[in-house]
Amino acid sequence: MRKILVYFIGIIILSGCAGTQSFEPVEINPEIDVCEICNMSIAHENYATEIISSEGDVFKFDDIGCMVEFLEKDKSLAKDKVAKQFVRDSETGEWLELKDAFHAFHPEFWTPMANGIVTFKDQERAESYMKEQGKGELYNYERFLKHQWSWKQ
């Protein structure tokens, strides 16, 4: 009887630990990873993005626009099942949560799928990039969510 009690207490303790799942970005392998939307190789790693579902599934994209298009067009992943959305700082390659990133937008900015949105870790660097380019519009997360994507026009 005592062994059974110890067994059940162990199960309860382990069940409690399972609820604290951490969602982290998965490194890109340009040799094998392809975009979920356009099926192109993810060759420009600093523009790669990822969605991680609440079940731990990882969806990889070669451009931030492909990630947004996937969420809007592919109903295999409901928005309420998205645990995290990751983007990369286009200069350093550092993974960032989409909600924390800043973006410089101009239709002439180069990106893998010509969406023109370049991502940065901080606002100052995004502003500096736009100043260097002599054009662009600053997006924080709220402004990013309102962006008019080319496939919607």
Q: Does residue 9 belong to any structural domain of this protein?
A: no
Q: Rounded distance, CA 111 to CA 100, Å?
A: 20
Task: Report if residue 10 sits inside a domain.
Answer: no
123 falls within a domain: yes
- Tell whether 67 is covered by a domain: yes
Query: What total of structural domains would you count in the chain?
Result: 1
Its domain, for residue 48, covers 31-152
pTM for this structure?
A: 0.83
Compute the distance between CA of residue 97 and CA of residue 68 in angstroms, rounded to an integer.
14
pLDDT in tens, 62-74: 999 999 999 988 7
Residue 136 lies in a domain: yes
Residue 25 lies in a domain: no
pLDDT digits (tens, 9 = 90+) for 106-149: 999 999 999 999 999 999 999 999 999 999 999 999 999 999 99
Residues 34, 43: contact at Cβ < 8 Å?
Answer: no
